[in-house]
């Protein structure tokens, strides 16, 4: 892997707490000496957050598509009626 990817891997180990104590200490010392590395740690943390939001967003779309199937397709008619009855009796 090229050097920058190795650094990305080390940042991941730091953020996801995958390193052993020795390596974690060395990494923290490197951060103290290298503000650019510290910046990259921050941006990478934000990148994980964005990936999580992306994953959640895509999952919600998949769930909505299942909902549409269940409430539109002919084959799920009895399920749909069972649910709709709950909201029409009032």
Residues lying near another protein in the complex (CB under 8 A) are found at 1, 4-5, 8-9, 12, 39-40, 43-44, 46-60, 62-67, 69-70, 79, 82-84, 86-87, 90
Mapping DSSP to helix (H, G, I), strand (E, B) and coil, where does residue 25 land? helix
CA distance 14 to 24: 7
Nearest CB to another protein, comparing residues 49 and 72? 49
Q: Give the nearest distance from C-beta 47 to another protein in angstroms.
A: 4
**Pick from 72, 68, 14: nearest CA to 42:** 14
> Minimum Å distance from CB 82 to another protein?
6
């Amino acid at each position: 892997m090229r050097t920058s990817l190795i650094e990305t891997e080390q940042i991941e180990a730091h953020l996801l707490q995958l390193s052993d104590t020795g390596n974690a200490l060395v990494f923290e010392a490197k951060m103290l000496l290298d503000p650019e590395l510290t910046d990259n740690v921050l941006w990478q943390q934000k990148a994980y957050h964005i990936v999580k939001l992306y994953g959640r967003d895509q999952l919600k779309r998949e769930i909505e598509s299942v909902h549409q199937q269940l409430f539109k397709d002919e084959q799920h008619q009895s399920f749909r009626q069972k649910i709709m009855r709950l909201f029409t009796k009032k």
